[in-house]
Amino acid sequence: DGYILTNNHVVEGADELKVSLSDEREFVAKVIGTDPKTDVAVIKIESENLPMVTLADSEKLRVGDIVFAVGNPLGVGQTVTMGIVSAKGRNKVGILDGGYEDFIQTDAAINMGNSGGALVDAKGRLVGVNSAILSPSRGNIGIGFAIPINLAASVMNSLVVTGRVARGYLGVSN
C-alpha cells in the first residue's frame, strides 16, 4: 500500500522526503507518523506494484542467527552486509534518550546511512529496522543495533490507524 517503515531520526526535521527504489523509480513521500520514543517512523508513497517484505517474528530470533543489514551506508548505494545476532533486548545503551530501548545487537556492518534499512534473516524476512551504531569513531566496529520488527510493526500499525502511539504510564521506576 506504499507504507514504508523507517527511523524517526531519518525523517525528523526533513523538508522533503524522496524514496528511490532498486528499479530506479523515485517518489516523494509524506510522513504518516513518528514515534521518537522508539525511533520509528512511517512514511507513504503513492504507486502500484511496489515491492514488499515478509515480516518475521523477532521473538523467535536467537543469538547466533545469521542476519543481513541492508542500507545505503555513507551514500555509496544499496549495500548488504552479513553478521550474526550478538544479543537481544539491549537496553540502557543511551541511544534513545528517555526512549524505549529493546534493540537487537548485530555485528553486521551498520554505518551512517544504514538507518531505516532492513535487518533480514537468512530467509529474507524482516526481523528488524537498522537504527544505530555504538562507536567512538562513528564508523562500524561490529556493534550495531536494530529495532525488533515486532515492536516496530506494532508502532507502525498504531501510527497508520491513529496517527500516534498511545502508551499507559504507571509512574514506577528502578
**What positions carry a catalytic annotation?**
9, 39, 115
Q: In whole angstroms, what is the distance from residue 85 CA to residue 142 CA?
A: 11
Residue 110 three-state SS: coil
| Grid cell for residue 97 | 534518550
Q: In whole angstroms, what is the distance from residue 93 CA to residue 109 CA?
A: 18
Give CA separation, 67 vs 21, 52, 109, 116, in Å. Answer: 22, 18, 10, 16
Query: What 8-state DSSP symbol labels residue 75?
Result: G
